[in-house]
Amino acid sequence: MLNPTVLELGQKRSTIRELFAFGQQRAAIVGADNIFDFSIGNPNVPAPDAVKQAILEILNTESPALTHGYTSAQGADFARTAIANDLNARFGTSYGAHNLYLTVGAAAALSICFKTLTTSPQDEFIVLAPYFPEYLVFIEQGAGARAVVIPAQTTDFQIDFETLTQRINPNTRAIVVNSPNNPSGAVYTPETIQLLTDLLRAKSAEIGHPIFLISDEPYRELVYDADTVVPFLPSHYENTLVCYSYSKSLSLAGERIGYVLIPDSVTDFEQTYAAICGAGRVLGYVNAPSLFQRVAAQCSGLTADLSIYRKNRDLLYDALNAYGYSCTKPKGAFYMFPQVPDLDDAAFCERAKQLDLLVVPGRDFGAAGHIRISYCVQTETIERALPLFEQLAR
């Protein structure tokens, strides 16, 4: 006998993973150069040189027992202190090691937060479409709570406050925000954040318990225009838990390193921090990878070279508009989310697949009629794929 839920999840991989696997199979037949894989968000820009230097220095100077051994469950004290210092320098805060819990990437950070805040199967987490599809798995199967989806506001991918206001109720435990956003590339404006935090404060008072803001921030540093500001949410809302990851900023997606930031301002801070530790324990994470805790301590705040993503965004955006796709210009992350001409995203992706062009249907992100194009690829791959996008638009 097997757990049917996890069996089904294991048998039915996500569309993104399916497409990625299909691309690898096709590459073996037709050659990697002839596959235009825009399916997965695997950074193609190398990690900054500082990461390599840090790894070499750590391996050459520290004892293997320290470098590769267990750390405390919440992460080595010096690593948490270094990350807190970096945040303080950038955001004018005064965090210490006690505000951080290091994790196996943002996925683990999110799972830990959902588990921490779930008190009964009736508890609800609000997710704003378009969303990272794994949220639903982490909330429903991981934490045993309910995911409540607010439909996308596709004009500018900000928030549909009318629907959001209606859907908040006494079962609401938290709202998940992801800005810069996967898959739309949108960044919430300061006005959106003001409206959101005002609403959450008012609703928390009305229902008599805090509604948390879970800020999923793997793309925090990936913004492309000087006038794009990514508000630092703990400075705007006291009950914010930040789920951060170095997967994208440092191009370390496979190394699995990130954190939960638990500011002192959260309600019942000490208990909340303890519950985060308890959730990590229940989920069996033990501790975040030891070597990469040390790398994060040295490299937090640095980024890979983001100029290629910006170049890719501009190239793809201008071309798709010229071909007649309707597209909101992404402000950050490395995804574009245009509408397909006949609004049948699944059929479009199937037709694209016949041409070895791999893009993901928007319905997987809760916004049918769109496709997600992950442009963290070589610029040349985009240049060579443009005629296919043009052909498909016709």
Contact footprint for ligand PLP (CB under 6 A): 41, 105-107, 132, 178, 182, 216, 218, 245, 247, 253, 258
Strands 100-103, 357-358: pairing is unpaired
**Cβ 47 to ligand PLP shortest distance, Å:** 14
Report d(CA 63, CA 69) in Å as an integer.
10
**Cβ 268 to ligand PLP shortest distance, Å:** 26
**Cβ 110 to ligand PLP shortest distance, Å:** 6
Nearer to ligand PLP, 74 or 204 (CB): 74
**Cβ 351 to ligand PLP shortest distance, Å:** 25
Nearer to ligand PLP, 210 or 258 (CB): 258
Q: How far is CA 291 from CA 60, 101, 107, in A?
A: 12, 16, 19
**Cβ 296 to ligand PLP shortest distance, Å:** 12
Strand order in the sheet with 172-177: 100-103, 258-261, 240-245, 212-217, 172-177, 124-128, 146-150
**Cβ 124 to ligand PLP shortest distance, Å:** 20
Nearer to ligand PLP, 203 or 331 (CB): 331
List for the chain the helix, strand, coil content (%; round to 5): 45, 15, 40
Nearer to ligand PLP, 83 or 107 (CB): 107
Nearer to ligand PLP, 258 or 332 (CB): 258
**Cβ 357 to ligand PLP shortest distance, Å:** 21
Report d(CA 259, CA 262) in Å as an integer.
10
Nearer to ligand PLP, 84 or 376 (CB): 376
- By the 10 Å C-beta count (0-12 exposed, 13-18 middle, 19+ buried), 63 is classed as exposed
Nearer to ligand PLP, 76 or 222 (CB): 222
Q: Do 173 and 123 form a contact (C-beta atoms < 8 A)?
A: yes
Q: 352 Cβ partners below 8 Å, 6+ apart?
A: 358, 359, 371, 388, 392
Q: How far is CA 8 from CA 2, 16, 139, 266, 374, in A?
A: 10, 16, 16, 37, 27
Nearest-CA neighbor of 45 among 302, 249, 296, 298?
249
Nearest-CA neighbor of 167 among 210, 118, 200?
200
Q: How far is Cα of residue 94 from the mean position of the Cα atoms in its chain? A: 25
Tell the residue number behind the tokens 């019942």, with chain if given: 268
Nearer to ligand PLP, 176 or 392 (CB): 176
**Cβ 137 to ligand PLP shortest distance, Å:** 12
Taking the alpha carbons of 127, 130, 131, 136 in that order, is the dihedral positive or negative?
positive
